[in-house]
Amino acid sequence: MVKMFTIKQLQEATDNYSENNIIGRGGFGMVFKGKLPNNQIVAIKRSLKVDSTQVEQFINEVIALSQINNRNVVKLLGCCLETEVPLLVYEFISNGTLHDHLHDEGKVEFFIWDLRLRIPAQVAQVLAYLHTAISIPIIHKDIKSANILLDDKYTTKVADVGASKLVPVDQERLGTMVQGTCGYLDPQYMQNGELTDKSDVYSFGVVLAELLTREKAISYAKPESERCLAIHFLRKLREERLFEILDEKLVSDGSIEQLKEVANLARRCLYLKGDDHPTMKEVAREL
């Protein structure tokens, strides 16, 4: 059951939305860390702008999250309806994002192959669940390493389901304005604006490549031919030079055959045509 909070409760929880409590920001607005009177730590999402899109996204998020019962999805605890754009209150996930762990050289634990394999397996199960296991299927629409959170035991929590789209039962494709994150966007979706569950599969393939290489999805500091990880990764596979791009720590720690199998799975997720992609259910089985 989603709990209703007052403005006063959330102002007190965040020390009046203090800069010191900001834990995330983006085009949508900001996320603040807060502490409730019972000492529970929460994450409070506040939109910057007031327009119909923001209100629609809020409604979408509540509808989507209300039908989800999955331990690997960030849980919506409540909301506040006293502001122009409603505020959303989530469980606080203590260990940051997959993106931060992958791209911070100080995170030694991410050298371990078993951990890097467990995380995408859990994400794949979440996406398979969203696509097939609930009454109205959900396309996440913004799968990326920054939307994969980790708790203190490195259990995966998929965030930002509010960016998602609910799929009417009689439809497989949704015509929509193209939204998402550069480097993770399905090329077919970018081209025709048709969102399908295979759009999530492509984005997941980018995350898988990111986990294997420890390279960012887009890196403008690199030569042009290497800026887009998906393209660079596929080229290396085609040229049978996979081990030139794999994270060297994985090569020394992981099974060579397993690495090749996961790389091949990533390749299939990254096919340009969505019809050629595996489903997330198939991906979850393979991982």
Mark whether 129 and 265 lie in a shared domain. yes
Q: Are residues 110 and 79 in the same domain?
A: no
Final residue belonging to a domain, choices 49, 72, 91? 91
pLDDT tier at 120 (50, 70, 90 boundaries)? very high
Same domain, 41 and 148: no
Domain boundary among 91, 113, 129: 91
Q: Note the pLDDT of residue 67.
A: 75
* Tens-place pLDDT, residues 100-117: 999 987 766 666 888 889
> CATH code at 10?
3.30.200.20
Residues 269 and 130 in one domain: yes
Q: What range does the domain containing 85 cover?
A: 3-91
67/103 same-domain check: no
Q: Are residues 53 and 113 in the same domain?
A: no
Residue 247: give its domain's CATH number.
Answer: 1.10.510.10
Q: What pLDDT digit, counting tens, does each position of 147-187 carry?
A: 999 999 999 999 987 655 555 444 444 445 456 688 898 88
When pLDDT is averaged across residues 2-17 and rounded to a whole number, the result is: 93
**153 annotated as ligand-binding:** no
The pLDDT, as a whole number, for residue 167 is 54
Count of structural domains, the chain: 2
Active site residues: 142
What are the tens digits of pLDDT across the range 56-78? 666 766 766 777 889 999 988 98
* Residue 29: HSE in the Cβ half-sphere, 13 Å Cα cutoff: 23
pLDDT value of position 123 = 98
The reply to whether 59 and 115 lie within a common domain is no
Same domain, residue pair 31 and 86: yes
Verify that 107 and 87 share a domain, yes or no: no
Q: Is the dihedral of CA 222, 230, 258, 197 positive or negative?
A: positive
More confident residue, 222 or 253: 222
Give this prediction's pTM.
Answer: 0.88
**Same-domain check for residues 146 and 248:** yes
- pLDDT over 80 (residue 189): no
Query: Residue 229's pLDDT band (boundaries 50, 70, 90)?
Result: very high
Q: ∠ at Cα 124 (121, 127), nearest 5°?
A: 155
pLDDT level of residue 51 (50, 70, 90 thresholds): low
Do 187 and 243 belong together in one domain?
A: yes
As a whole number of Å, the end-to-end CA separation of the chain is 33
Q: What is the pLDDT of residue 98?
A: 94
pLDDT at 37 over 90: yes
- C-alpha 159/C-alpha 148 separation (Å) is 6
pLDDT value of position 131: 92
What is the pLDDT at residue 170?
45
Both 41 and 161 in a single domain?
no
Domain boundary residue among 91, 110, 136?
Answer: 91
pLDDT at 88: 87
- The pLDDT value given to residue 53: 63
